[in-house]
């Protein structure tokens, strides 16, 4: 593995022959079949486990299932329908999260994602010789304007995406000019970064940050530019790179940590994303960490990387606090809370070196439904930070003290936000003079009944066996007019009153 440097989504060095590449594909297909079979069994057991151990997860799972079904409903326009269909195939979770966005941004973000997926597919295809791949990466930002561009690379759904890329281009070319310019600029910068790292190993923490910037930080920067260009958020988001980059780095480092085993066992050559300056303190070669005899060192190495990732969380909190539009907030918040939940699950967990560790589906569903505002976001971060605290063992882990300091700083920020947001909500409730809709409807039915009674007084008396003219006409007239005025006022309150 030391002879192959892995960068972006690929590796340095190529299979020695077409037969080697073909053999690698066969092995990958067999592994894919086995994984699919195992996943199916695990899904069944997972559902049963949820019902038995986490009954509170059932409702969130049902609701998220409905969200997933909604994401599968395709637009009528055929090219746009293809984009959302292939999005569901290459990333089911992102297809659900993107539904949080307003229509103004949803198509642009969908195309943005698919453009970068296509770029990633080229970089990831080991069958493309490096001398051919480099110019493709550097020039791909120009291809996205070519209505006829398509290519044969990738596997499964990615192969389909590349073969049908003109459909993505057709949608891209219909986007507003500011959106097209943002997507093209980020694609250009990312392609250049991938080309730079395709023959460069991730040696230092600076390399690690730079690599993550190219493959994820730029995504955050691009999204911020889209928010500003849409005018749904402040123009200050345009060109805001520090906090946007941190959002991407936090997510990317989490994925790299979690996917160690899958990456290191990749064929025909392993992917090595963990920085040498870190793993070399714990093993002679990066792939040594997967072996049982090196388990303690492997966990300590992983914990050091988790600690590094946690340092980005403070900038993530600052970024989220700037977002005002609710749909953009949910879109950004959900992956961030998922990331810290994943770090909490991975920390000190030997299973990372036995397979891919994931948070349970029920918890994932709960997170999706509880990222609606800054209070819920900070509460989620605080909850998982607290889980991390209970896992840290400073006496056994050489990075334990540093980890605790990072968590303490995060918890301090979370506590401050929770206190401020709770006070805001309290003040809003005190100042809110509107009646709940349920109360308004109850009053409407009561005064509706009184209105009917007042205008049918004579019939009511007759039904009770009393002379229908027994009442004072002036009092009856007053009741009719009073009931009418009250009923009109209550009806207006129901229709145009403040909702809460």
pLDDT at 45: 59
**Euclidean distance between CA atoms 153 and 438, whole angstroms:** 58
CA–CA distance, 346 with 87 (Å, rounded to integer): 28
Asked whether 296 and 398 are in contact (CB, 8 A), the reply is no
pLDDT at 239 over 70: yes
CA dist 30 and 21 (Å) reads 14
Angle at 498 (CA atoms; ends 493, 500), nearest 5 degrees: 115
Could you give the C-alpha distances from 295 to 256, 274, 308, 328, in angstroms and in order?
A: 18, 16, 20, 41
Task: Provide the mean pLDDT of the chain.
Answer: 85
Instruction: Identify the residue whose tokens are 């260009």.
Output: 229
| Pick from 61, 180, 79, 166: nearest CA to 118 | 166
Q: Which pLDDT score is estimated for 11?
A: 36
Classified as helix, coil or strand, 7 is: strand
For residue 223, give every residue at least 6 positions away whose Cβ sits within 8 Å of its Cβ, in sequence order, or none.
Answer: 109, 112, 244, 332
Question: What would the mean pLDDT of 343-351 be, rounded to a whole number?
Answer: 94
Query: In this structure, how many other beta carbons lie within 10 angstroms of the beta carbon of residue 30?
Result: 10
In this prediction, residue 51 carries a pLDDT of: 59
Beta bridge partners of 6: 11
User: How would DSSP label each residue in 215-282?
Assistant: IIIHHHHHHHHHHHHHTSS-GGGTT--HHHHHHHHHHHHHHHHHTHHHHHT-SSS----S-HHHHTTT
Question: Can you give the three-state secondary structure of 11-71, one letter per residue?
Answer: ECCCCCCHHHHHHHHHHHHHHHHHHHHHHHHHHHHHHHHHHHHCHHHHHHHHHHHHHHHHH
pLDDT exceeds cutoff 70 at 23: no
Give the separation between CA 274 and CA 474, rounded to whole angstroms. Answer: 89
Least confident of 104-108, 197-201, 290-294, 405-409: 197-201
pLDDT greater than 60 at residue 72: yes
| Cβ 161 vs Cβ 147: under 8 Å | no
What's this model's pTM, rounded to 2 decimal places? 0.77
Start-to-end Cα distance in the chain: 60
Mean per-residue pLDDT, 26-49: 56
Cα–Cα distance, 211 to 206 (Å, whole number): 9
Element at 153 (helix H, strand E): none
The count of other CB atoms within 10 Å of the CB of residue 492 is 10
For 454, the token pair is 């007042």
Q: Which two tokens stand for residue 271?
A: 């992917």
Q: Is the pLDDT of residue 4 over 50?
A: no
Share of the chain above pLDDT 90, in %: 54
pLDDT of residue 121: 93
Task: Output DSSP code: residue 213.
Answer: I
Q: Rg of the chain's alpha carbons, rounded to an integer? A: 29
Neighbours of 169 (CB within 10 A): 22
> Does residue 270 surpass a pLDDT of 80?
no
Least reliable range by pLDDT among 33-47, 122-136, 322-336, 467-481: 33-47
pLDDT score recorded for residue 435 = 67
- pLDDT reading at 33 higher than 70: no
Longest dimension (CA), the chain: 108
What pLDDT is attached to residue 499?
55
Pairing status of strand 10-11 against strand 6-7: antiparallel
**Alpha-carbon distance 107 to 113, whole Å?**
10
Contact 353, 282 (CB under 8 A): no
Give the lowest-confidence range in 199-203, 216-220, 372-376. 199-203
- Mean pLDDT over residues 147-174, rounded? 94
Q: How many CA atoms lie within 13 A of 55 on its CB side?
A: 1
Per-residue model confidence (pLDDT) at position 381: 96
Question: For tokens 């892995």, what's the residue?
Answer: 6
Please state, in angstroms and rounded to a whole number, the distance separating the CA atoms of residues 207 and 46.
Answer: 38
Return the pLDDT at 463: 83
Could you give the residue numbers annotated as active site? 211, 258, 271, 331
């Amino acid at each position: 593995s030391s002879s192959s440097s892995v960068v972006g989504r690929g590796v340095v060095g190529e299979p020695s022959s077409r037969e080697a590449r073909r053999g690698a594909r066969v092995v990958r297909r067999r592994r894919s079949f086995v994984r699919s079979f195992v996943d199916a069994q695990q899904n069944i057991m997972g559902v049963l486990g949820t019902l038995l151990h986490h009954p509170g997860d059932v409702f969130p799972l049902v609701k998220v299932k409905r969200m997933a079904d909604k994401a599968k409903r395709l637009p009528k326009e055929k090219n746009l329908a293809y984009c959302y269909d292939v999005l569901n195939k290459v990333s089911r979770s992102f297809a659900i999260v993107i539904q949080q966005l307003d229509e103004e941004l949803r198509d642009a973000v969908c195309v943005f994602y698919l453009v970068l997926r296509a770029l990633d597919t080229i970089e990831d295809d080991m069958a493309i010789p490096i001398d051919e791949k480099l110019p493709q990466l550097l020039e791909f930002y120009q291809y996205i304007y070519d209505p006829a561009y398509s290519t044969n690379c990738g596997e499964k759904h990615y192969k389909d995406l590349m073969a049908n890329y003109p459909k993505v281009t057709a949608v891209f070319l219909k986007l507003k000019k500011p959106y097209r310019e943002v997507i093209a600029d980020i694609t250009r910068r990312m392609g250049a970064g991938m080309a730079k790292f395709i023959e460069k190993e991730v040696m230092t923490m600076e390399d690690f940050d730079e690599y993550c910037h190219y493959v994820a930080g730029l995504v955050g920067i691009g999204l911020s530019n889209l928010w500003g260009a849409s005018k749904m958020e402040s123009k200050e988001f345009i060109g805001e790179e520090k906090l946007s980059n941190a959002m991407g780095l936090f997510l990317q480092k989490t994925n790299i940590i979690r996917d160690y085993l899958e990456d290191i066992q990749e064929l025909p050559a392993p992917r090595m994303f963990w920085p040498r300056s870190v793993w070399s303190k714990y093993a002679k070669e990066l792939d040594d960490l997967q072996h049982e005899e090196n388990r303690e060192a492997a966990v300590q190495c992983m914990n050091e990387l988790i600690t590094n990732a946690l340092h980005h969380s403070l900038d993530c909190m600052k970024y989220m606090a700037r977002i005002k539009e609710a749909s953009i907030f949910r879109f950004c918040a959900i992956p961030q809370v998922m990331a810290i939940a994943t770090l909490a699950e991975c920390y000190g967990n030997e299973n990372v070196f036995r397979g891919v560790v994931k948070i349970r589906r029920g918890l994932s569903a709960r997170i999706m439904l509880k990222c609606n505002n800054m209070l819920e976001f900070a509460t989620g971060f605080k909850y998982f930070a607290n889980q991390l605290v209970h896992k840290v063992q400073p006496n056994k882990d050489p990075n334990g003290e540093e980890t605790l300091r990072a968590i303490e700083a995060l918890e301090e920020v979370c506590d401050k936000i929770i206190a401020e947001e709770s006070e805001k909500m309290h003040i809003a409730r005190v100042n809110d003079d509107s009646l709940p809709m349920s109360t308004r409807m109850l009053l409407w039915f009561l005064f509706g009944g009184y209105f009917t009674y007042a205008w049918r007084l004579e019939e009511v008396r007759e039904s009770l066996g009393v002379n229908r003219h027994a009442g004072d006409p002036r009092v009856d007239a007053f009741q009719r007019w009073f009931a009418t005025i009250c009923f009109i006022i209550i009806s207006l309150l129901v229709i145009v009153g403040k909702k809460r």
